[in-house]
Amino acid sequence: MPEKEEWINIGISLTVPKNKTGELEKLLTPYADELGWKIFSVDESEENSQIAIAPKSGRISPQELKEKLNKIAGVSFGILKDIVHLGDREKALKNYMQGFIITSAILPKTKKEVFFLGHTLGFLWFNYEVSKRIALEQADKELALAIFFNTTAEDELRDFFAKKKPEENDAEIKSKLETLYAFKLD
């Protein structure tokens, strides 16, 4: 069942100077506790660390995402408002950005290329394999639309390419997406 399987990678991530890692982890603890998630930190460079709040496995099921998306996004916004903008809701709203990204990877075992779609809402990010989203759309379209902003993967990609500034490799990426997933992106 694609709706109960944990295949959506998810977390709330911030980058901070290494000397502030411990302090920020303490500030983030109530937010992590509210979600029942863990705090992880990784050295990003000599100067910075990345701190993430995520489920222990790093993944969530579509059904759980539907049930908790508002709460998770609210926690992400709360961190931006309370910690970054010191309680200033208006400043936080001005800086609360939403994004979308396409990435690909070659699977080590099969050498097959797969594509991932990713979304950001403030500090919240989540991504997943396109094939998993398509399977969910086929199994439970209502659930898929509820958690993926009321659009199908194909429509979201078509809209993405129509709105973005053209780049050299766009035609190649679109062609691969159309071939792999039977999309029509023009």
pLDDT tens digits, one per residue of 5-47:
999 999 999 999 999 999 999 999 999 999 999 999 988 888 9
pLDDT tens digits, one per residue of 12-23:
999 999 999 999
pLDDT tens digits, one per residue of 57-80:
999 999 999 999 999 999 999 999
Angle, in degrees to the nearest 10, between helices 153-163 and 170-181:
170
The Cα 56–Cα 4 span in angstroms is 17
pTM comes to 0.89
Cα pseudo-dihedral 83, 127, 170, 185, rounded to 10: -120
- Cα–Cα nearest to 118, from 38, 7, 9: 9
- Type of residue found at 89: R
Structure confidence at residue 93 (pLDDT): 86
Domain residue limits, the chain: 8-181
Structure confidence at residue 179 (pLDDT): 93
Structure confidence at residue 2 (pLDDT): 66
